[in-house]
Amino acid sequence: MKAILTVIGKDNVGIIAGVSQELSELEINILDVSQTIMDGYFTMMMMLDISTTTKAFDEIKRRLAKKGEALNVKINIQREEIFNSMHKL
């Protein structure tokens, strides 16, 4: 099963490291990543494989939101099928 993760906020040191570390602890693999900094704002989108984790999706969501607070960014995760349904024309 795949999920889409987005990270948005003011750029600061350690965002990628912090998000990657949390995903590693959750046993979630990063399949693809795109990130950029525009006028001091950091944005990142990741495609994740969540089939390897033993954690419930609600716990994953909660832990990533908490990590986002610690990093001063907004982290959102959605299952791939929900993301695709929301963005389909």
pLDDT digits (tens, 9 = 90+) for 63-81: 999 999 999 999 999 987 6
Q: Report the alpha-carbon distance of residue 3 to residue 81 in Å, rounded.
A: 8
Cα dihedral value 81, 64, 28, 82, nearest 10: 0
pLDDT of residue 89: 55
| Entry pTM | 0.88
Q: Residue ranges per domain, the chain?
A: 2-87
- Tell me the average pLDDT of the chain: 93
Architecture of domain 2-87: 2-Layer Sandwich (3.30)
